[in-house]
Chains A and B, each alone.
Chain A
Amino acid sequence: MTDLTKLTLADARDGLAKGDFTSVELTEAHIKSMDAHRNLNAYITETPEKAVEMAKASDAKRAKGDAGKMEGLPIAIKDLFCTEGVQTTAASHILEGFKPEYESTVTTNLFNNGAVMLGKANLDEFAMGSSNTSSYYGNVINPWKTADGKDLVPGGSSGGSAAAVAAGMALAATGTDTGGSIRQPASYCGIVGLKPTYGRCSRWGIVAFASSLDQAGPMTKTVRDAAIMLGAMAGHDAKDSTSAPVAVPDFEAALTGDIRGMKIGIPKEYRVDGMPEEINKLWENGIAMLRDAGAEVVDVSLPHTKYALGTYYIVAPAEASSNLARYDGLRYGQRVMEDGDSLDDMYMKSRAAGFGKEVQRRIMIGTYVLSAGYYDAYYNKALKVRRRIYQDFENAFGTVDAILTPTAPSAAFAIGENEDDPVKMYLNDVFTVPASLAGLPGLSVPTGLSSGGLPLGLQLIGKPFDEETVLRVGGVLENAAAFNAKPFGQEG
C-alpha cells in the first residue's frame, strides 16, 4: 500500500471516493506520522482520538452516499482557530487550558464539508512572528534541514501548519495570514499557501491579532489542494461584519492550465536593495515560465511599496494592542494575583506572566502609536499610506491580471537567527505585507531551491475576490517549475 501521508489532498479525496482506502486508514497513517515527527513540535495539541472518531463518522457518512468537499480528509488546524472542547491557546501561556464552547466558522465549514481534525498546529504567539520561535509551547522545527543537518525555522506565524503539511503530518492545514503568516512559512517549507482576499473567509472564532488584516487560508501540498480547501473554508458569515457577501466559486474549476493572453505584472519596487541573487534568479525563472505559457509579462509600478512594512508595523500592533486587552486574567486563561492585590496589580501580573516578549513589544508599540499626541503622526498617517498602497494595486490591476513577486527575501534561516534584531526579523514580511494591507489574495507556490538546497516560493497577487486567476496562474507556475524536492525524511 502506498504511503498515505505522501498523497495530495486531491489524490486522497479521489482515493477515498474510489474506495482505495478509508478515512480511518488515512487518518491513522497521519497519526503515525505525527508520532514519528513529534520532534518538529508542529502541534501544540494532538487530537488523535477525536480524529479517528471523526474519520469513522466520515466513512459512515460516505457509505450513505453523502460526501462533502473534504470528506474524510485529515488536516491540521492552526491553534488560533477556536475549536469546541479542544484547548485553544494561540501559542500563548495566557490562554493555556482555554477550551472554547464554540467552533470557529472556518473550522465549522471544514468539518461540515467532512474534514477530519488531527490536532492544533503550533504558531508564533498570537500569530506574531516570522519564525515560529515566539510560541510559548516551544519553537517548530522545519522538516527541511541545512546540508549539514542543522535545524531551521519553518517561518511564521503558521509555522506548525507549514511543517505539518511538509512533513506529511497532515494532508493540509489551515493557516492565518496577517502580514505573510501563510505565504512566508509556505515558502520556507516548500508548500503552497494561499491568503485569500480579506473578507473571503470569516474571522469569527479566530483569535484576533490585527482585525483589519487577519485572514484565514489553506496551506497545502499543491495549488489544486489549495483550491479544494479554500472552497470548503470560505463563505459569507453574518457573524463577521467584515465578511464579504460574495458567492464562493468552484475554485478547482479555475485550474484550466491556460493563461494565454493573460497579463502578469512585475513590480519594479520589489527589486529591493541587497536582495540575494538567488531570489532574483528564482523570480526571473518564474517570469520565463509564465511567458512560455503564453502570458504577457509587463512591468508595473507600485510606488508606495517601500512604506508598506512601516505602515504594517503601525497598523497591526495598534489593532493588536486593543484586541489583546481582553486577556486580563478575569474570565478565562491565566490569572496571576496574590492576596491583597488590586485590580491593576492583577492585570499587570497576569499579562506580564501570560504574554511573551514579542507580544509585549507589539502591545507597547501599538499603545504608543494610538496615544494622544502620536495618533496623527503614526496611526492616522499609516491609514493614509495604506490607502495609497491599495490605490497602487488598483492602478496596476487596471492593466494586469495578476502580479508576480518573490514570497520572501530568503530561504528558511537557522533557529536563533534574527532573534536579537526584531527589525531584521520584520524584514521577512517585506514582500507579503503590501498585499495584506491592500486586502488582496496572495498565493505562494514553491518554484525552486536555494543554493543551500532549501525551498523558495514565488508569490502571485490578484485582484480582490479573484482567487481564481491567482490559482490558475499558480497552477501553471507549479507545473512549469515541477518542484518535487522533498524535505529530509520525506524523499521517495
Chain B
Amino acid sequence: MTYILEGSTGPWEIVVGLEVHCQVISKSKLFSGASASFGSDPNTNVSLVDAAMPGMLPVINAECVRQAVKTGLGLKAKINKESVFSRKNYFYADLPQGYQISQFDKPIVGEGTIILDMPDGSTKAVGIERLHLEQDAGKSMHDQDPKYSHIDLNRSGVALMEIVSKPDIRSPEEAGAYLTKLRAIVRYLGTCDGNMNEGSMRCDANVSVRKPGAEFGTRCEIKNVNSIRFVMQAIEIEAMRQIEVIEGGGEILQETRLFDPKLGETRSMRSKEMAHDYRYFPDPDLLPLVFDDAFIAEIEKTLPELPDEKKARFMREYGLSAYDAGVLVAEQEKAEYYEKVAKGRDGKMAANWVITNLFGALNKLGVDVSESPVSAENLGKLIGLIGDDTISGRIAKDVFEIMIETGDDPEKIVEEKGLKQITDTGAIEAAIDEVIAANPDKVEEIRGGKDRMLGWFVGQVMKSTGGKANPGMVNKMLRDKIMG
C-alpha cells in the first residue's frame, strides 16, 4: 500500500535512505589488538594505536574483514575482492588520529538487496548501495566536570560496518521493517549484536519528500537515532516538516538534523555550508585490502540459513502463511523454538500455539523466547496431547496457563489434575441422558427445527463433565439421540 502524506496542496510521497552503523562482533579492534568488548572501565581497552601515539601504525584485523564479507554475503551483495581504506580527516577530541580510517570510493561490499516483510504479509525489496568497514570514534563526556570534557577511548578504533541503503524506502513502516530485517540478518550471521540501545547499531536517515512520481527532493540527514520506533517517528515528523516548509513557499536546505523524541521534532545541526571537508585520501599506512575467491568461499561455508530462506522453507515444509512464517523467522531463537515444537507434529497448529499463545504470554511477562518458562519440548508435548485426543483444545489452554506459571510437563499436569478427555461412550451417554431428561422442552424445540439449540446441549454436557468429554463425540451422540 502506498504511503501518502496529505498536504494542503495535495498528496506527498516520502523518499528515505538509511545509513546503519553496525558494530562488528570481534575480539579486537579493526586496526589494533585492543579488546573491542563493551562496558569496560574508561580507557582500559586502548592500545598505542588507538591513542594515536607517534609512529604507531594500523594493521587490519582479519576477523573484522571476514565478518564484513559474511554480512555482504548475507545481504546477497557483491563482494569486492579489492577494496581500499581511506582517511576521513577532521579534528575532534574523541578522534585521536585526527582522521577516521574508513572506506570511501572502494568499499569491501557493493550492491545487494534486503527483502522487507511487511505486517500485511507482503514483501518489498530494498536495494543496498554498499557496506564498508570503518573505525568507531571514542566517546566524549561533557557532564563529568564543570570545566573539562572527559574522553573515553575504549570505543576508539572498534570496527563498524556502515550499511547504506538505496533511497528505496517509501514509508516509516518500511523503514522499520528494513531495520528489523537488517538486524535479524546480522544477528543470524553473528556479525553484529544489533542492540540499538547499547549503540552497537546506529541509524542515520536521509529523508526527502516529493509529489508522487516527481524527481527526488532535497534531502535532510537525521543523525544517530537510537531505536527503530524513533527512526519511524523521526521520518514521519521530518517529512511533515518538509511538506510544511515547501507548501509555505520555502525551500528545503540540505543539512544534518537531530531528532528530539521528547519534543517530537527535528532540529538543524549543521548546514551544507558548514559541512566538513573530510579530505578523503587512501591511507598510505595500509595496502589495498585484497583477497581471493577461496577466502570468500570459505566464509560462505559458514553462513547459517538466513531469514528469507528459512521463511520460504517454513511455508513449504510446514504449510505456514507468509505472515506466520515471517513472524517466526524474525528472530533466530523464535524460529529454532518453533521448529522444535513443530517437529513431527501439525506445523500449522504448532505455529498457532507458538505465535498466539506462547508469544502472547511471553509478551505479558516481558521476557524473550530464550527465557520462556515453557520449553519447546513441553509445548510440543501439549500439542501432541491435543493431536492424540488426550485432551481437548479448550483444556489445553488451561494446561498451558499452568505451564506458564510452573514450567511443568503437560503430561504430568494432565495426569495430576485428571484432565484426560472422556472418550468412554457409556460415561458420555449417561451425561447426555441426564441433560435430555432435565430439558424435554428444549428437545422439542430442536425437533421442531431449531437446530441451533444443539449447541446449547453440547455446552451443558461439557459443563457437567468438567470440560473433559470429547466434544466431537458429544456432538455426534447428542445428534443421534435427539434427531434419532
- List chain A positions with a Cβ less than 8 A from chain B: 81-82, 88, 90, 95, 98, 100-102, 104, 203-208, 210-212, 238-242, 318-319, 321-322, 324-326, 328, 330-332, 339, 343-344, 347, 367, 370-372, 375, 379
Q: Evaluate contact between B91 and A347: CB separation under 8 angstroms.
A: yes
In this complex, which of B53, B89, B151, B279 has the most chain A Cβ atoms within 10 angstroms of its Cβ?
A: B279
Which residues in A have their C-beta under 8 angstroms from that of B283?
Answer: 211
Find chain A residues with CB under 8 A from B98 CB: 322, 324-326, 328
B87 within 8 A of A: yes
Main secondary structure, interface of A, reads loop
Of the stretches B54-62, B256-264, B432-440, the one at the interface is: B54-62
A367–chain B nearest beta-carbon distance, Å: 7
Cβ of B55 and Cβ of A205 under 8 Å apart?
yes
Select which of B48, B149, B286 is within 8 A of A241 by beta carbon. Answer: B286
A-contact bits for B77-91, CB 8 A (1 contact / 0 none)? 000000000010101
Contact B285–A326 (Cβ < 8 Å): no
Most buried by A among B56, B87, B147, B287: B56
Whether A318 contacts B277 in the complex (CB less than 8 A), given A82-B55, A330-B93, A370-B89, comes out as no
CB 8 Å contact bits of B44-57 with A (1 = contact, 0 = none): 00001001111111
Given contacts A367-B279, A375-B281, A379-B281, contact A204 B89 (CB under 8 A): no
Nearest CB of B to A81, in Å: 8
Q: How far is the CA of A330 from the CA of B286 in the complex (A)?
A: 25
Q: Which residues of A contact B59 (CB under 8 A)?
A: 238-241
A-B contact pairs, 27 of them (CB 8 A): A81-B55, A82-B53, A88-B54, A104-B55, A211-B283, A211-B285, A212-B284, A239-B59, A241-B58, A241-B286, A242-B287, A319-B281, A319-B284, A321-B279, A322-B87, A322-B89, A325-B91, A326-B52, A326-B54, A326-B96, A331-B51, A331-B52, A343-B93, A347-B91, A367-B279, A371-B279, A379-B281
Using a CB-CB cutoff of 8 Å, which residues 271-314 of chain B contact chain A? 277, 279-281, 283-287
The answer to whether A204 touches B57 (Cβ under 8 A) is: yes
Point out the residues of chain B lying under 8 angstroms from A203, CB to CB.
55, 57
B178 contacts chain A at the CB level, 8 A cutoff: no
Q: Chain A CB within 10 Å — which of B92, B149, B285 has the most?
A: B285
Q: Which of A102, A206, A238, A347 contacts B53 (CB 8 A)?
A: A102
Asked if A207 and B287 make an inter-chain contact with CB atoms under 8 angstroms apart, the answer reads no
Question: Contact between A326 and B97 (Cβ–Cβ < 8 Å)?
Answer: yes
B-side contacts of A104, CB under 8 Å: 55
- Asked if residues A322 and B281 are in contact (CB atoms below 8 Å), the reply is yes
Would you call A211 and B55 a contact (CB within 8 A)?
no
Contact A100 B96 (CB under 8 A): no
Residues on B with beta carbons closer than 8 Å to the beta carbon of A370? 89, 279-281
Residue of B nearest to A331 (CB): B51
Which residue, A98, A328, A332, has most C-beta atoms of chain B within 10 A? Answer: A328
**Pair A371/B277 contact, Cβ less than 8 Å:** yes
B105: shortest Cβ distance to chain A, in Å? 11
Asked if B188 lies at the interface with its beta carbon under 8 angstroms from chain A, I say: no
Contacts of A371 in B (CB 8 A): 277, 279
A104 nearest CB neighbor, chain B only: B55
- The answer to whether A210 touches B284 (Cβ under 8 A) is yes
Q: In the bound complex, how far is the Cα of B57 from the Cα of A273, in angstroms?
A: 41
Of listed A95, A241, A319, residue having the most chain B CB within 10 A: A241
Please report the C-alpha to C-alpha distance between residue A11 and residue B98 in the assembled complex, in whole angstroms.
Answer: 47
The answer to whether B99 has its CB under 8 Å from any CB of chain A is yes
Q: What residues of chain B lie closer than 8 Å to A100, measured between beta carbons?
A: 53-55
- Given known pairs A322-B281, A371-B277, the reply for A241 and B287 (CB within 8 Å) is yes
Q: Within the complex, what minimum Cβ distance (angstroms) separates A320 from chain B?
A: 10
Q: Which B residue's beta carbon lies closest to that of A89? A: B54
B93 — which chain A residues lie within 8 A by C-beta? 330, 343
Q: Which residues of B contact A242 (CB under 8 A)?
A: 284-287
Is A325 touching B97 in the complex (CB atoms < 8 A)? yes
| C-alpha gap A238/B53 in the complex (Å) | 18
Number of interface residues of B (CB under 8 A): 32
Known: A370-B279, A370-B280. 16 other contacts (CB 8 A): A82-B53, A102-B53, A203-B57, A204-B55, A204-B56, A212-B284, A241-B58, A321-B279, A322-B281, A330-B96, A331-B51, A343-B92, A343-B149, A372-B279, A375-B279, A379-B281
Q: Nearest A residue to B285 by beta-carbon distance?
A: A211
A326-B97, A371-B277 in contact; A241/B60 too (CB < 8 A)?
Answer: yes
Tell me which residues across on chain B come within 8 A of A319, comparing CB atoms: 281, 284
What residue of chain A has the Cβ atom nearest to residue B48's Cβ?
A102
Task: Please tell me if the beta carbons of A207 and B89 are within 8 angstroms of each other in the complex.
Answer: no
Q: Indicate if the CB atoms of A82 and B54 lie closer than 8 Å.
A: yes
CB nearest neighbor in A for B99: A322
- Whether B57 contacts A241 by the Cβ 8 Å rule is yes
Whether A328 contacts B91 by the Cβ 8 Å rule is yes
Task: Output the least CB separation between B387 and chain A (Å).
Answer: 61
Q: Are B277 and A372 in touch, CB under 8 angstroms?
A: yes
Name the B residues within 8 Å of A88 (CB-CB).
54
Distance from B286 Cβ to chain A, minimum over Cβ atoms (Å): 5
Instruction: Write out the residue numbers on chain B whose beta carbons fall within 8 Å of the beta carbon of A347.
Output: 91
Contact A240 B54 (CB under 8 A): no
Residue from B57, B283, B285 with most neighbouring chain A CB atoms (10 Å): B57
From residue A415, how far is it (CB to closest CB) to chain B in Å? 28
Interchain CA distance A207-B54 in the complex, whole Å: 5
Interface flags for B135-150 (1: CB within 8 Å of A; 0: not) read 0000000000001010
CA distance A324 to B154 in the complex (A): 22
Compute how far the CA of A212 lies from the CA of B87 in the bound complex, rounded to whole angstroms.
Answer: 14
CB distance from B275 to the nearest CB of A (A): 10
Residues of A within 8 A of B48 (CB): 101-102
Which of A206, A210, A318 is within 8 Å of B55, CB to CB? Answer: A206
Residue of B nearest to A379 (CB): B281
Closest A residue to B87 using CB positions: A322
List B85-128 residues whose CB lies under 8 Å from chain A.
Answer: 87, 89, 91-93, 96-99
Q: Complex formed: what's the CA distance from A98 to B147 in Å?
A: 26
Closest to A325 in B: B98
**Interfacial residues of chain B within 24-56, with CB under 8 A of chain A in the complex:** 48, 51-56
Whether B54 lies near A98 (C-beta < 8 A) is yes
B51 to chain A: closest residue by CB: A331
Task: Give the docked Cα–Cα distance between A95 and B149 (Å).
Answer: 23
Query: A86: shortest Cβ distance to chain B, in Å?
Result: 13
Contact B58 A211 (CB under 8 A): no
- Taking a contact as CB atoms under 8 Å apart, the answer to whether B91 and A332 are in contact is no
CB distance from A383 to the nearest CB of B (A): 8
Determine whether the beta carbon of A211 is less than 8 Å from that of B54.
no
A366 to chain B, nearest CB (A): 9
Residues of chain A with a CB closer than 8 A to B87's CB? 322
Interface-central residue, B52, B53, B93, by most chain A CB under 10 Å: B53
Q: Which residues of A contact B91 (CB under 8 A)?
A: 325, 328, 344, 347
Chain B CB within 10 Å, residue with most, of A104, A210, A325, A371: A325
For B57, list chain A residues within 8 Å (CB).
203-204, 239-241
Q: Give CA–CA (A200, B393) in the complex, Å.
A: 77
- Bound Cα distance from A367 to B278, whole angstroms: 10
Which residue in chain B gives the minimum CB-CB distance to A366? B279
User: What 1/0 mask marks residues of chain B from 373 to 408 whose CB sits below 8 Å from any chain A CB?
Assistant: 000000000000000000000000000000000000
Task: List which B396-440 residues lie within 8 A (CB) of chain A.
Answer: none
CB of B54 within 8 A of CB of A95, answer yes
Of all chain B residues, the one with the shortest Cβ separation from A371 is B277
Q: Whose C-beta in chain B lies nearest to the C-beta of A95?
A: B54
- B238 CB, min distance to chain A CBs, angstroms: 26
A331 touches B96 (CB 8 A): yes
Contact indicator B284/A90 (Cβ below 8 Å)? no
Interchain nearest-CB distance for A362 vs B (Å): 15
